[in-house]
Amino acid sequence: MSPAEGTVLVTGGTGYLGSWCIATLLERGYDVRTTVRNLAREDEVRAALAVAGADDPGDRLTVVAADLTSDDGWAEAVTGCRYVLHVASPFPPAQPKDPDELIVPARDGALRVLRAALDAGVERVVMTSSIAAVRAPEGSRPDRPLDERDWCDGNDTSLTPYVRSKAIAERAAWDFVRAEGAEDRLAVVNPGLIVGPVLSSDFSYSVQLVERLLGGKVPAAPKLGFTYVDVRDVADLHVRAMTSPEAGGERFLATDRFLWTSDTAQILRDRLGDQARKVPTRVAPNFMVRAMGMFDPAIRTIVGDLGQKTEYSSEKARTTLGWTPRPVEDAVEDTARSLLDRGVVAVS
């Protein structure tokens, strides 16, 4: 792939997934432009690429300022770009009291990026959504793994603001491109819980489960489960959806396997040996987790999921785009080793 084939804009260049998308694109020969809210963070973007093993991109990477909450900078950011990966979106460690703190920037930010991209003649935008936007409510789930046909109701106020924001933002994006007659210029990737090597101490909230287990921050594993996917595989799927003619106007789930927290803990013990000595061996009763949630906002957001198992299918991404994620055990191990290597977790 030659850089002459085009420049790709990646929104949210300092983020966990954004950094890996940039590294993947550069490795495959693309020039990359990325957005940050503050240009003072350009050094962080380049430092993360070095940790990812990327060669110094020099002027093949440019950094520009743009914020999801403002129109300023987006027209300039997309000018001359062939593709856009819209990765930036709020993902807080705790849910805000006002849902609009998440919903408005997620929805309006996606529309700002799409509007600017279509106006600039971008061939395709790949938007990062989440399996949160796919998750059907209890009692209405089909008797099969959930897939791209399924949606959660973003107007359901019983859902967390984060879940609602993902569904509302993705719905708004599809409605916008359909109204513009440009549905084939959008593709959406819906990842599960993203894990994998961290590139800095400023890593995604999605990695905190492994960090807490490895650091002994929980006395026992809660009866919680997640459908994992490696960040490097999510970046790969974004690039596949960006260039494949079959991807236009389509959603793609990026998931591997469901694991209970106790399964994740077992992988850490099996793969890391003595370095995993702080990982809990017991399963926490649900009442204990609920009690912990009274004092820990991060735990409070997930108590409603205790004991629930939801299966998702990524067959569409595998068959349509030839996507093959690495085994979830390897993703969990690589997450843990990177946390240790970066000094985020100390086990001594």
- For residue range 81-94, list pLDDT tens digits in order: 999 999 987 666 56
Q: What is the pLDDT of residue 29?
A: 93
Q: What is the pLDDT of residue 273?
A: 94
Cα separation values, 84 from 79, 104, 211, 314, Å? 11, 21, 31, 23
On average, the pLDDT of the chain sits at 90
Q: What is the pLDDT of residue 231?
A: 97
pTM value is 0.92
How many Cβ atoms are within 10 Å of 324's Cβ, its own excluded? 10
* Weakest-pLDDT range from 13-22, 54-63, 154-163, 302-311: 302-311
SS3 339: helix
CA angle 62, 108, 113 (to 5 degrees): 30
Q: Half-sphere exposure of 137 toward its Cβ, with a 13 Å CA cutoff?
A: 12
Is residue 289 very low, low, confident or very high in pLDDT (cuts 50, 70, 90)?
low
User: Tokens for 43?
Assistant: 């050094």
At 252, give phi and psi (nearest 5°).
Answer: -140, 120
d(CA 33, CA 29): 13
Strands (E), 92-230: 124-128, 186-191, 193-195, 225-230
At 40, give phi and psi (nearest 5°).
Answer: -65, -15
Enter the CATH code of domain 3-196+229-256+311-325: 3.40.50.720
Residue 73 has pLDDT above 70, yes or no: yes
Higher pLDDT: 340 or 288? It is: 340
- What are the residue ranges spanned by the domains of the chain? 3-196+229-256+311-325
CA angle 33, 230, 243 (to 5 degrees): 45
d(CA 247, CA 265): 36
Annotated active-site residue in 166, 217, 309, 316: 166
The residue assigned the tokens 């990982």 is 279
Query: Has 309 been annotated as catalytic?
Result: no
Range with top average pLDDT, 142-151, 280-289, 292-301: 142-151
Residue 306 has pLDDT above 60, yes or no: yes
Residue 348 has pLDDT above 80, yes or no: no
Q: Do the beta carbons of residue 229 and residue 237 sit within 8 Å?
A: no
Cα separation values, 243 from 2, 55, 124, 176, 253, Å? 14, 23, 8, 21, 17
